[in-house]
Structure 1
Amino acid sequence: MSVSAFNRRWAAVILEALTRHGVQHVCIAPGSRSTPLTLAAAENRSLIHHTHFDERGLGHLALGLAKVSKQPVAVIVTSGTAVANLYPALIEAGLTGEKLILLTADRPPELIDCGANQAIRQPGMFASHPTQTLSLPRPSQDIPARWLVSTIDNALGQQHAGGVHINCPFAEPLYGELDDTGLGWQQQLGDWWQSDKPWLREDIQLESQQQRDWFFWRQKRGVVVAGRMSADEGKRVAEWAQTLGWPLISDVLSQTGQPLPCADLWLGNARAVAELAQAQIVVQLGSSLTGKRLLQWQQTCEPQEYWIIDNLTGRLDPAHHRGRRLVSSVDRWLEQHPAEKRTAWSTEIPRLSAQAWDAVAATREMFGEAQLAHRIRDYLPEQGQLFVGNSLVVRLIDSLGQLPAGYPVYSNRGASGIDGLISTAAGVQRASARPTLAIVGDLSALYDLNALSLLRQTSAPLVLIIVNNNGGQIFSLLPTPPDARERFYCMPQNIQFEHAAAMFGLRYHCPQSWEALETALDGAWRTPVATIIELVVNDTDGTHTLQQLLAQVSQL
């Protein structure tokens, strides 16, 4: 009996089972213990393969692929700390709903806790963050193939959102020719191999029922809050709110077109808050709200009912309002709860929003990150998509910009970390094959510098704008101690990224004006390669501009 051959047959069943649950993309890191999984994935013609030498980046690459494809994405890594590097992406997926399937190779049980090399306790190592955890036994012909495939099906059939961790121990030898060992075991599954359906199909649906009193609530004064949703959903929500005559407060990830732009500015105005207090119901569609003033208002508003609609489970309401937590896709919910044409009841907010926009527009000629956020609509590629990093850049676009309705926008706004942002953007581009504009800060780029290697493989133009304000200037907006702010919070690195671009063979520009930026972008969108554009700006200009605009709009 060949151990290596049976390992591969065992792994082939696992990989084939994944394809029956919609897995098309598999992300693979190098490793020896994962050889059975890697070779089984390589031989499966239903899979598209992606590789990366950095497991943390690999997990985020898978996250980006899952965001766009809306399908589960598999990740294969070897044993040891390679597994631990998937933790950040797994956590993010659990909070934002992407489906990841982590196939982690492991040493067999007799090599754990005895000093064997690269052997750690892997079962359960991700604690409560996976939606399902499956610790497989060492491959054995004494275990029926139908047990293995139905066990995989059972775990994936219950995956509503988030990650599934499947730990896969393999004994040595790991290498050798594939002989007939285990062929009969594999053939126990009969014509399953020729079908495209899971062995075990489970129908578990999590969806709230239609609210029968909606006809009553839609006649009231309401407010719509739009969080993260798809581009098509964003357009529909904007039309739905307009028909109802309810003001729409839109997050940067809502893709609604932000009909009342600069919400994070005008929500700091007392007259706007006073008018919103007249609302009898607030309907929030989608989670992951960005704006600080929006979150403050959401924390303190007291409508008669606060409804949250999202496909994710859980409360999703840090203010713990009295109301309803409805599990549904936004599209499905809008179909079940049509709007009734009514006259808009809010008059103060549209006026304040227009004035806030004019105040922002008056600063647009300055060359800085706040102005980039305001101008961003002008720089989006046609038929493309936008990936927005975290910290200051996403807040500036949310506060000062206005994105087109239905234009795809992606971000990692679950745990809101800066790790893996470039890797996620690479996955977003690969899954869609669209021209992609990604914007991150300088520390975020440093944190994921390895991911520049992923940008060497693009199927359409990708532009990565690195806004270099020399450190984490988001802390300039917070009451951090002034004498400790630079050293312990902002941590300026005093670097530029030209050599990093050269190291990975990527195009590079460092424009000093809007005209130079527009010229660089015009050239970048013409060729299906990646381009880094570094925008070097004065350290605190962006935060100062935002603070000045907040003060100005609050006094309107």
Structure 2
Amino acid sequence: MYSNKENVNILTSLLIDFGIKKAVVCPGSRNSPIVHNLCSCGRMKCYPVTDERSAGFFAIGLAEALNMPVAVCVTSGSALLNLAPAVAEAYYRNIQLIVVSADRPIQWISQSDGQTIRQQSALEPNIRKSVSLPEPTNAEERWFCNRLINEALNETRRHGGGPVHINVPISEPLFVYTTPFLPCERTIMIHDSTINRTALETILKEEILKADRPMLVLGQLPKYMLGNIETIEKVCLVLRERPANNSLQPQPIDQILSAGIDESMQPDVIIYIGGTIVSKQLKRFLRNCSNVKSILIDDRAEIRDTFMNLSHVVEASPDEALDTIVSIAGKLKPGKFVKSWHDAIRQACQTIMQQPLDYSYEWAVRELFKQLPRNVETVCGNSTAIRLANKYSDRYIFVNRGVNGIEGSLSTAVGHSVAVKHTQVCCIIGDLSFFYDQNALWNQNLGNNLRIILLNNHGGGIFRQLPGLEQSPFRDKFIAAAHVTSAREVCCAHKLEYLEAHNKTEFNNALESFFNRKERSALLEVFIEIE
């Protein structure tokens, strides 16, 4: 029987799965659930050593003689600090030492309780990775616990190897051994190009060719990398938002998912390449898919478990991965899965372009992309602007989705316009983002090729779309930052042409000449009632 502590059981299972066969265990009560599990599992030889200072170096001796990772387990308090000299030695010699420390519950740290110190990060900087596990009470915390252990155990063997620290808070009672079996845990394997140069091709071939429903999901990618996507799309489902899509046809993913899809449209393998994904619905959908493998292609080979089902991380550049998938695509035949999604995308595109809309942000953005000249490059603000552009744009969108913050969208557009001074740049931006970053226009480099579509509804309109927030009487003034500001005087101060629209007729009339103005940059302020 095993301990009833879930984080301890998850850790034990993953230590076994990662092939850890040797553990040095030190005495103590707080770490007794961990020691009990390691001794009970039957897959690990445990060596008792009383002095932690000696135990760390004893583990180093085992690790270097056997050329394998070794765990060393200590109790809470100063016991952990006694491992510091051994950890430093392991760090500078690339020895795979896995420090497992029991800890008191976080709420009791620094409260004059026995054997409680700040253990998290106590061994830094001479450590490759340091994590502190939760004591899971729900599925998301359990996933987090699994992910943290995977991150640490992968790091101990990467780039030559080195020591890692896994801190395990354990609440009382400590001595309950009622769990009959260890849990079956998901392992995340990182494949470094320095270790295995063929991992990319091997894993992609194996997983894509044997999958019935492979899905390639593209997060934000540089525009120059998107040349081969059309070849892949003919035989494999590729979901990509506008920050990774340069084709004429949009992919209204949110609309497709909102309409509901059956189980046959769920992938069995997900290949994820690129940065952040805008759509919360897409992330939620992929997180809820069952029995799916998820493979992340990442330059740094860092664990980003966006869809909560990651199984492999392959170190490779996005363009290298896309080229590899193109070479595999010739062996694929488009099946019902791909056809179902392509049909759904076409139907959704027809619906959103034909549905009647009142004068609104949505109508204005749809109308803008109907009339936007093909040679105009587009930069979006975050939040509503990028979400509507995802839905209606017929071209690639530049947007700051690294952190998704409000700041800097206008400054980015100005910098873009200066870099491509012979090409017009259209910035679609909301009022809060614009006024927050209005000093972007206080720039002597600004030329005459910037066009700004300012969607002004006098506050953060997206806060009106958050269910439940309407119950707060402070929503509009304090949370959504309601205001009565206009950009007219800003444009006057910085010598931009200023146009405004309050209805469909004014918007269309302004747009007729908006992109033909040559003398200086211009701004069209689109006023919309927030309701």
Same fold at TM > 0.5: yes
Q: Name the counterpart of 1:451.
A: 440
Q: CA deviation at 1:213?
A: 4.2
Match of 1:321 among 309, 312, 321: 309
Distance 1:292 1:484, change over 3 A: same
Q: Following superposition of structure 1 onto structure 2, how do residues 24-43 of structure 1 map, counting pairs within 5 Å?
A: none
The match for 1:232 is 224
Larger Rg: 2
Q: Distance in 2 between matches of 1:270 and 1:239?
A: 28
Residue 320 (structure 2) aligned to one of 325, 329, 332: 332
Structure-2 separation of matches of 1:474 and 1:301: 28
CA distance in 1, matches of 2:371, 2:405: 25
Q: Give the 3-state SS of the residue equivalent to 1:307 in structure 2.
A: strand
Q: Which residue of 2 aligns with 1:214?
A: 204
Measured in 1, the distance between the counterparts of 2:321 and 2:217 equals: 14
Q: Displacement, 1:443?
A: 0.9
Tell me, yes or no, if structure 1 residue 502 matches structure 2 residue 492.
yes
The answer to whether the 8 A contact 2:427-2:453 is kept is yes
Percent identity between matched residues is 19
Structure 1 position 424, deviation (Å): 1.2
Residues 227 and 528 (structure 1 numbering): CA distance in 2 closer, same or farther, change over 3 Å? farther
Spell out the pairing of 1:443-522 with structure 2 (5 A cutoff).
443-454=432-443, 457-459=445-447, 461-478=449-466, 479-482=468-471, 483-514=473-504, 516-522=506-512
Q: 394, 397, 405: which one pairs with 1:403?
A: 394
Residue 513 of structure 1, CA deviation: 4.4
Instruction: Report what 1:530 is aligned to.
Output: 521
8 Å CA contact 1:364–1:374 kept in 2: the answer is no
Number of the residue aligned with 1:285: 273
Q: Pick from 310, 320, 333: which aligns with 1:342?
A: 333
Using the alignment, how far apart are the partners of 2:352 and 2:278 within structure 1? 19
Query: Aligned pair in 2 of structure 1 residues 259, 360: CA closer, same or farther (>3 Å)?
Result: closer
Task: Tell me the distance in 1 between the aligned counterparts of 2:509 and 2:430.
Answer: 21
How big is each residue's C-alpha offset from its partner over 1:305-345, in whole Å with a ceiling of 9 and x where there is no partner? 21122435522323342322223332221223321241232
CA gap 1:504/1:429 in 2 versus in 1, 3 angstroms: same
Residues 524 and 206 of structure 1, relative CA distance in 2, 3 Å threshold: farther
Corresponding residue for 1:108? Answer: none
Matches within 5 A, 1:230-269: 230-242=222-234, 244=235, 246-257=236-247, 259=249, 261-269=251-259
**Which residue does the alignment assign to 1:56?**
none
Cα distance in structure 2, aligned partners of 1:207 and 1:463: 48
Q: Is structure 2 residue 378 aligned with structure 1 residue 386?
A: yes
Given the two structures, how large is their TM-score scaled by the length of structure 1?
A: 0.54
- TM-score normalised by the chain length of structure 2: 0.57
- 1-structure distance, mates of 2:507, 2:301: 43
Q: For residues 301 and 248 of structure 2, what CA distance do their matches in structure 1 show? A: 26
- Once the two structures are TM-superposed, the CA of residue 395 in structure 1 deviates from its matched residue by 1.6
State the Cα distance separating 1:231 from its structure 2 match: 2.2
CA contact 1:226–1:248 (8 Å) conserved in 2: yes
Separation of aligned partners in 2, 1:336 and 1:314: 20
1:87-166 equivalences in 2 (<5 Å): none
Q: How do 1:68-87 residues align onto structure 2 when only pairs under 5 Å count?
A: none
1:417 to 394, 405, 411: 405
Q: Could you tell me whether the CA contact under 8 Å between 1:381 and 1:437 is conserved in 2?
A: no
1:412/1:506 CA distance change after superposition, 3 Å: same
Query: What is the CA distance between 1:264 and its match in structure 2?
Result: 1.0
Q: Secondary structure at the match of 1:282?
A: strand
SS at match of 1:437: strand
Which residue matches 2:362? 370
Question: CA distance change for structure 1 residues 293 and 363 in 2, over 3 Å: closer, same or farther?
Answer: same
Runs of 5+ consecutive residues of structure 2 not aligned to the other structure: 1-124, 126-192
**What amino acid is the match of 2:424?**
P
Contact 1:265 1:293 in 2 (8 A): no
Which amino acid in the other structure matches residue 450 of structure 1? N
C-alpha change, 1:443 and 1:385, in structure 2 (3 Å) is same
Task: Supply the AA of the counterpart residue of 1:362.
Answer: Q
- 1:535: Cα distance to partner? 0.5
Using CA pairs below 8 Å that are at least 6 residues apart, which structure has the higher relative contact order?
1
Matches within 5 A, 1:166-181: none
